[in-house]
Structures are given as structure tokens and as C-alpha cells.
Amino acid sequence: MTSLAAAAGVVAQRLSGMGLSLLCVPFLALALGPLDAVRLTLLLGFPVYLAVAITHWRAIRWTQVAWLTVPAVVFTPVVALAVRDVPPRPLLLAAGGCCVLAVGVLASGITSRRLAGRTAAVGAGVLSAAMNSVAGLSGPAVAVYGASAGWGADETRGTLSIYFFLLGLVALPSLGWVEVPVSVLLAVAVAALAGDLLGRALSRRVGERSVRWSVLLLSAAGGALTLAHAA
């Protein structure tokens, strides 16, 4: 399950600019526990986010990256320290609930000009940081902001990827190192590499809309399974 979730998440990230956390966290939480699922997803994300950001470097909205990243970086250690000692069951419920809620928000296609200004960017960064520390889901809040700001496909891929990378640099040390066997780390690393190669090969053949809805459906299933497991 861990390897399949990692590979699918990396493929989605390569194709659409998001989906790694939405696909990985709920399934990894069932196998490894919620906190290590978030930690492992953050660790897995570093090379993936950096590779996507480099590919779309010229399309990155750097000013908006700053407005998102600064509040997120400031707020992350506060939430991360608060959740480190929380028992697994409440975290599983939070991870599953956040995942299902995030899927609902993204599927609705909510956009508004009021969600595109600097104040909205700060709010998106804070909400993203909170959801990232609790459930590893930093993407939905900033994805809604990006859609409201009118980002194109390449702008979304590049801007979100560099934001996720920068946020992870603070989030992982705040949450602590991954406490899983080395064999699991190696298996996930190999699966992620395979997913990256497959994602590159499919990037010109699969429509963005198809990828988006596949990610949302699988993420909803993962969130529902996590909630059922925690209940």
C-alpha cells in the first residue's frame, strides 16, 4: 500500500502540480500512522516538488509565493509542536476529515476575486500550514487561492511546487524525523522514482482534467477509509 500510494502521488504531482499529499497521506496513515504519514510525505515531496518547480521555473509567481510562504512558515512550528503528542486516533480523524473536506472544496471549483488579494494569500498560507501540520494537506487552500488569482496550468504547477518545497523545509523539522523502518523508506523511494518516470512519460498524453478528477476520487476514497479506520 505504501509503495503504490507513493507512486500514484508522484504521478499526480508531475501531471497536475498537486495530488502528492492528497493521495499519499490517507493511505500511508492507515499503514504507518497519521504522524509518520505526514512526515514521510513531506520527505518524499522534496525532490518531486523541486523537479516540478525547475521544469516550470519561468512560470512561477514569485511575489505570490512570498505572500503565501511567510505566514505559513511562521505558523507551521506552532501547529506542529501542538500535534506531535496528540494520540493517533484524533489525528487519523483529522487527516481523514481534512482530506474529504479538501476534496469537496476542490471539486466545487470555488473561486472569487475576494480570494485573490494579499490578505487572502496570507489567510491561505496560514490555513495551508495548519492543514499541512495536522494532515499533510498543504495544497487545497493555496490551490483555491491560485484558481481565484487566475493562474494558468504552468503557473499553478511551478508556483505550488516551490511553495510546497519551502514549506516542507520548515514543517519536517518541526514535526520530527520519520520513524519508520529503513526498508519502508527504500521501498517508497523506489516507488517514487518509478512514479516520477511514469509521470514524465504521461505528461503529454493525459489530459489535466482527467488527472484532476482521478486524484480527487482516489483522495476521497483514502479519506473515507481513514475515517472508517479511526471510528
Closest by CA position to 98, among listed 182, 22, 178, 162: 22
Q: What is the pTM of this model?
A: 0.84
Identify which has the larger pLDDT, 102 or 115: 102
Per-residue pLDDT tens over the stretch 134-186:
877 787 888 888 888 888 878 888 898 999 999 999 999 988 888 888 888 89
- Residue spans of beta strands (DSSP E) within the chain: none
CB 200 within 8 A of CB 55: no
* Residue boundaries of the structural domains of the chain: 2-230
Helix (H, G, I), strand (E, B) or coil at 183: helix
- The answer on pLDDT for 194 being more than 80 is yes
